[in-house]
Amino acid sequence: MSVMTKEVYGLTVERDPQERLGPDDMVAVREAEFLHRALTAAQAAMHQPALPRGRCGNCGEACAPTALYCDDDCRDDHQRRLAAQRHTRGR
Ligand SMILES: [Zn+2]
| DSSP three-state, residue 8 | strand
Tell whether 75 and 54 lie within a shared domain.
yes
User: From ligand 1's centre to the CA of 53, what distance in Å?
Assistant: 12
Q: What is the pLDDT of residues 36-90, one digit of tens each?
A: 999 888 887 776 667 778 889 899 999 888 888 999 999 999 999 988 988 887 6
Considering only CA atoms, which of 45, 53, 13 is closest in space to residue 29? 13
Of the two residues 18 and 80, the one the predictor is more confident about is 80
Name the CA radius of gyration of the chain, rounded.
22
User: From ligand 1's centre to the CA of 91, what distance in Å?
Assistant: 26
User: From ligand 1's centre to the CA of 69, what distance in Å?
Assistant: 5
Tell whether 9 and 40 lie within a shared domain.
yes
User: From ligand 1's centre to the CA of 42, what distance in Å?
Assistant: 28
Q: Is the pLDDT of residue 34 over 60?
A: yes
CA distance 12 to 25: 19
Residue 71 is given by DSSP the state S
Q: Is the pLDDT of residue 2 over 70?
A: no
Tell whether 64 and 34 lie within a shared domain.
no
Tell whether 78 and 39 lie within a shared domain.
no
User: From ligand 1's centre to the CA of 78, what distance in Å?
Assistant: 9
Question: Could you tell me which residues come within 8 angstroms of residue 61 by beta carbon, excluding any fewer than 6 positions away?
Answer: 55, 70
> Phi and psi at residue 83, in whole multiples of 5°?
-65, -40
Tell whether 1 and 40 lie within a shared domain.
yes
Q: What are the C-alpha distances in Å from 28 to residues 21, 25, 34, 49, 51?
A: 10, 5, 10, 34, 39
The domain of 77 spans 50-91
